[in-house]
């Protein structure tokens, strides 16, 4: 075999391989497009059936991962890789990966339990895994929570499931807790009446139950009032800040003196 024949053979093989690579890239692009279309169709069908958004996103993730695995196996088969052996290899690798990535599988299992037991759903305001915010997605391995300062935080499902979960959206309202310091010279009953009127005028404050304003403690400056309006969790921070403003403006309009500490000073005899 001379050099011309060798060069022709190499050129033919490279051309064949290049065509296969181009074909594989085309199959990948088209496959990814079809997968996206299939996921959208499944999501649309489930949406029409009024499936819960939490379950919808979880199933969408499972369908996406499954179809991508099938696409990769199909491309490898196109290159002549024995897919039967590959399936056995994937199964064996799955066992090894399962042993090495037990935590990842625990997150997957915890995600399934979160879907089944439903301690919260997408859109709920929660405190879970040490993170507080609005649930945006319950994924295969992690849950996405948008914190009040607009930071997307990804928390492992197993950490959430193994920790205490606070769901602030489970009830129709929650309580805002603030304190108001009075001076000794101020009549607490007058302050309580004024604050109840001011709180009732704050937007989004629940009228039933009505806001609570009572003496909760005493200190060296005077009585301390517990100021507790109720509101839906969506309006919590608005009512929180408006309550602070109402306390300041109400006491200022009433002309209450600034609370000052009263200290007993003993004088020594000369």
CATH number at residue 93: 1.10.287.1260
Eight-state DSSP code of residue 256: P
Determine, yes or no, domain membership for 268. no
Distance CA 235, CA 107 (A): 32
Distance CA 42, CA 97 (A): 30
Find the CATH number of the domain harbouring 135: 2.30.30.60
Count the neighbouring beta carbons within 10 Å of the beta carbon of residue 239. Answer: 25
pLDDT of residue 269: 44
Determine, yes or no, domain membership for 82. yes
Co-location of 163 and 206 in the same domain: no
135-166: pLDDT as tens digits: 999 888 899 999 999 999 999 999 999 899 99
Determine, yes or no, domain membership for 266. no
- The model carries a pTM of 0.60
Which of 67-76, 118-127, 225-234 bottoms out in mean pLDDT, i.e. has the lowest? 67-76
Determine, yes or no, domain membership for 112. no
Tell me which range, 34-48, 175-189, 249-263, is most confidently predicted by mean pLDDT: 175-189
Determine, yes or no, domain membership for 14. yes
Mean pLDDT, to the nearest integer, of 116-124? 90
Of 124, 161, 122, the closest CA to residue 141 belongs to 161
Domain containing 127: what range? 119-167
Co-location of 194 and 162 in the same domain: no
Q: Which residue has the tokens 């066992």?
A: 95
Co-location of 194 and 249 in the same domain: yes
Determine, yes or no, domain membership for 114. no
Q: Do the beta carbons of residue 169 and residue 233 sit within 8 Å?
A: yes
Q: From residue 152, give the alpha-carbon distance in Å to each of 103, 133, 134, 208.
A: 22, 9, 9, 34
Mean pLDDT, to the nearest integer, of 24-31? 81
**CB-based contacts of 114, cutoff 8 Å, min separation 6:** 120, 138, 143, 157, 160, 161
Mean pLDDT, to the nearest integer, of 56-69? 76
Q: Do the beta carbons of residue 221 and residue 183 sit within 8 Å?
A: yes
Find the CATH number of the domain harbouring 205: 3.30.70.100
The tokens for 243 are 């309550």
Co-location of 22 and 71 in the same domain: yes
Distance CA 176, CA 213 (A): 12
- φ and ψ at 101, to 5 degrees? -115, 50
Provide the CA 34 distance to its chain's centre, in angstroms.
Answer: 30
Co-location of 143 and 196 in the same domain: no
Co-location of 69 and 128 in the same domain: no
Co-location of 87 and 131 in the same domain: no
**CB-based contacts of 111, cutoff 8 Å, min separation 6:** 58, 138, 139, 140, 141, 143, 157
Which of the listed residues 152, 167, 182 is the one where a domain comes to its end?
Answer: 167
Query: What does the angle CA 89 – CA 101 – CA 97 come to, to the nearest 5 degrees?
Result: 10
Say what percent of the chain tops pLDDT 70.
Answer: 81
**CB-based contacts of 233, cutoff 8 Å, min separation 6:** 125, 168, 169, 173, 174
Co-location of 78 and 47 in the same domain: yes
The total domain count for the chain is 3
Co-location of 25 and 81 in the same domain: yes
Eight-state DSSP code of residue 267: P
Q: How many CA within 13 A on the CB side of residue 255?
A: 0
Determine, yes or no, domain membership for 263. no
Co-location of 95 and 17 in the same domain: yes
């Amino acid at each position: 075999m001379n050099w011309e024949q060798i060069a022709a053979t190499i050129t033919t093989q490279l051309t064949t391989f290049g065509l296969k690579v181009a074909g594989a890239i085309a199959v990948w692009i088209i496959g990814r497009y079809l997968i996206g279309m299939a996921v959208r169709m499944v999501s649309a069908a489930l949406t029409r059936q009024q499936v819960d958004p939490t379950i919808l996103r979880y199933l969408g993730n499972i369908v996406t991962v499954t179809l991508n695995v099938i696409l990769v196996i199909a491309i490898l088969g196109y290159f002549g890789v024995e897919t039967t052996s590959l399936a056995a290899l994937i199964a064996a690798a799955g066992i090894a990966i399962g042993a090495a990535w037990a935590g990842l599988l625990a997150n997957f299992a915890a995600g399934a339990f979160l879907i089944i037991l439903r301690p919260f759903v997408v859109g709920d305001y929660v405190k879970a895994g040490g993170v507080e915010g609005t649930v945006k997605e319950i994924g295969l391995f992690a849950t996405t929570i948008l914190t009040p300062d607009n930071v997307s935080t990804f928390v492992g499902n197993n950490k959430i499931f193994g920790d205490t979960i606070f769901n602030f959206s489970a009830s129709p309202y929650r309580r805002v807790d603030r304190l108001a310091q009075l001076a000794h010279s101020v009549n607490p009953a007058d302050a309580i009446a004024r604050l109840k009127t001011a709180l009732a005028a704050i937007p989004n404050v629940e009228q039933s139950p009505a806001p609570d304003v009572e003496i909760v403690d005493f200190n060296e400056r005077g009585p301390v009032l517990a100021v507790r309006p109720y509101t839906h969790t969506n309006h919590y921070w608005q009512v929180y800040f408006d309550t602070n403003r109402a306390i300041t403006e109400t006491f200022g309009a009433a002309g209450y003196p600034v609370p000052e500490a009263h200290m007993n000073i003993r004088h020594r005899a000369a």
